[in-house]
């Protein structure tokens, strides 16, 4: 059966001398593995369309198991993400979060729309590291944990200026009044918690003009990493590269 679907290339692996096996996340939020014959050759018509981050229209045949890619029209190659090592690393991190959250036979258009919004925002100049934090936060419920950042988990206080810590014992923010309940709570600025709440709550199309300073980014990313360690237990291999790149910035 012949299919024609939009999608993103989220994996691309060389296979044999001339071929590639790619996986696209299609417009229905489903991962589709495809054999791209001859795509390793630089002169081949599929070579450009089988690169990571490419958003394209893919035509392929598929019956059972892996399909075979016949042609592809590139909608957006996202060359900025392919050519910039920092944007590429953060883009790969976003893809890995989505890839591991989505089961092989699952269909969830949320993931497709999320990557579409993220890549478009980065193309428009939004910091890739900021968008990667948005992906990590928005995907948490897909891993089984529903976070909250807008109220004290003990007192219910919703005054954002009073929230200055996150408790892993009580699974939520703590106000200044409630800090004595968990002396080991992760101290974080109310500004960082405010941004985390915005990132988590607002639709992705409204998050294309975010500007966060570096110290607040460090606070947010540290809490996100700790939350994934504590509540999700998933290890992302792309984090190793990101840490190496962060060291280069210092």
Whether the per-residue pLDDT at 247 is higher than 80: the answer is no
The class of domain 2-77 in CATH terms is: mainly beta
* The two structure tokens encoding residue 33: 């593995």
Domain with CATH 1.20.1440.120 in the chain: 80-146+187-249
Whether the per-residue pLDDT at 246 is higher than 80: the answer is no
Domain with CATH 2.40.50.140 in the chain: 2-77
The class of domain 80-146+187-249 in CATH terms is: mainly alpha
Residue 15's pLDDT band (boundaries 50, 70, 90)?
very high
Measuring CA to CA, how many Å separate 2 from each of 41, 50, 55, 68, 81?
Answer: 24, 19, 19, 10, 31
3-class DSSP state for residue 50?
Answer: helix
Tens of pLDDT, residues 109-159: 999 999 999 998 998 888 999 999 999 999 999 999 999 999 999 999 999
How far apart CA 159 and CA 151 sit, in angstroms, is 7
**CB-based contact 83:34 (threshold 8 Å):** no
Residue 234: phi, psi to the nearest 5? -105, 135
Q: Tokens 């696209």 map to which residue?
A: 24
How far apart CA 105 and CA 249 sit, in angstroms, is 40
Query: Could you tell me what percent of the chain has a pLDDT over 70?
Result: 98
Tens of pLDDT, residues 161-185: 999 999 999 999 999 999 999 999 9
The mean of the pLDDT values for the chain is 92
Which has the higher per-residue pLDDT, 128 or 245? 128
């Amino acid at each position: 059966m012949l299919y024609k679907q939009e999608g993103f290339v989220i994996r691309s692996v060389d296979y044999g001398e001339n071929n590639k096996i790619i996986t696209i996340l299609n417009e229905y939020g489903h991962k589709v593995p495809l054999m791209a014959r001859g795509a390793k050759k630089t002169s081949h018509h599929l070579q450009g369309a089988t690169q990571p981050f490419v958003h394209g229209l893919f035509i392929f045949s598929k019956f059972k198991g892996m399909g075979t890619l016949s042609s592809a029209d590139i909608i957006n190659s996202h060359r900025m993400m392919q050519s910039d090592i920092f944007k590429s690393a953060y883009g790969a991190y976003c893809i890995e979060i989505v890839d591991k959250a989505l089961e092989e036979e699952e269909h969830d258009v949320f993931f497709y729309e999320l990557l579409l919004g993220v890549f478009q925002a980065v193309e428009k100049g939004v910091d890739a590291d900021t968008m990667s934090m948005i992906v990590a936060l928005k995907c948490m419920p897909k891993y089984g944990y529903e976070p909250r950042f807008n109220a004290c988990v003990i007192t219910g206080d919703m005054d954002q200026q009073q929230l200055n810590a996150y408790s892993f014992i009580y699974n939520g923010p703590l106000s200044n009044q409630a800090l004595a309940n968990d002396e080991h709570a992760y101290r974080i600025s109310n500004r960082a918690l405010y941004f985390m709440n915005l990132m988590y709550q607002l639709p992705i199309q409204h998050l294309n003009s975010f500007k966060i300073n570096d110290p607040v980014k460090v606070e947010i990313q540290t809490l996100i990493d700790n939350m994934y360690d504590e509540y999700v237990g998933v290890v992302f291999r792309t984090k190793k590269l990101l840490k190496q790149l962060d060291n280069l910035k210092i």
